[in-house]
Chains A and B, each alone.
Chain A
Amino acid sequence: MTAILAAFSGVVMGWLIQEVGASDPRRLLANLRLERFDIIRFMAVTIAVAAVLLPLLGFVTPLHTAIKPLQWVGVIVGGVIFGMGFGLAGFCPGTCVVAAGSGRREAWLVVVGGLLGAAVYHLTAPWLVDVWHRWDVGRPVLPDVVGLPAWATGALLGAGLVLAVVLLPRGVRNEPS
């Protein structure tokens, strides 16, 4: 049943990514060059909606949350490397699969590169995994950090993201209104 739900989530996510244009690497690169902001806005709205709703739903139903650990070395080094790849070609591990599905042949090479990247990680893990896991401070969440209930921090986070969406420049270059 979980596999069916995961597959269904993937189909809907793929549909939304294709519809919003995030599977087009030129569109993502334009966002990363700060020439347009539609995909950044899309991500901010997504997170705002879920951040507000999840703590509220937590009052009425158990949630299947999974908080990733904050291992400073891995998160920062991995984030820098990920960002370099993201900024080089305008693809993420998910959007390249959506792009391949949509018919963009160029995306297949990113998928192949992704498998090579996973293999590099795997083969170097015996020596490096302890380095990546250094400075592990557990799995902190915003309510722990600021000392407020999750529904309040979720609302504040959502409001902050909506404010960012509103304040981002509009129609800078080639952006539809």
Chain B
Amino acid sequence: MGNQLVMYEEELQQINHICDVLHRDANAKAVLVIDKNGQAIAQAGEVEQLDVTSLSSLTAGNVAATGGIAQLLAEKEFAGQFHEGEKTNVHISIVGQRLILLVLFDERSSLGLVRLRVRKASNELVHVIEQLVKKSESASQPSVFAEITDADIDNLFND
């Protein structure tokens, strides 16, 4: 499990801030940051009506499938996707090979504006990811899991 992703308070705040700014500057309905394996990490905007967990898993599946197509076509990856709906459009991009940035927008915005703002936000997110990876590797924080006992694990299943 060397590839484990660990998120800390400080970096999550930075990611949340990037999402908020992107949501505002792109006139978007909602912004989601998702781990490539389908875990939701951060969100901004009108997310109350969204099933964020399902949306994250399906988006990651979509990105993985598109990545598979890219490989078959000897492309490194397709960095972005755009789905046009009647009311809601979806812009999906890969950030730092590790995260997915999902932007939902409607007629209040445009694909051009979203693309422009996404580029800026992506650059900022890449910095945060690099910081996060360094921090995880140095593992300066004591892990809570070292203290987990068999009894703790058994207690989860006592129903």
> Do A and B bind?
no
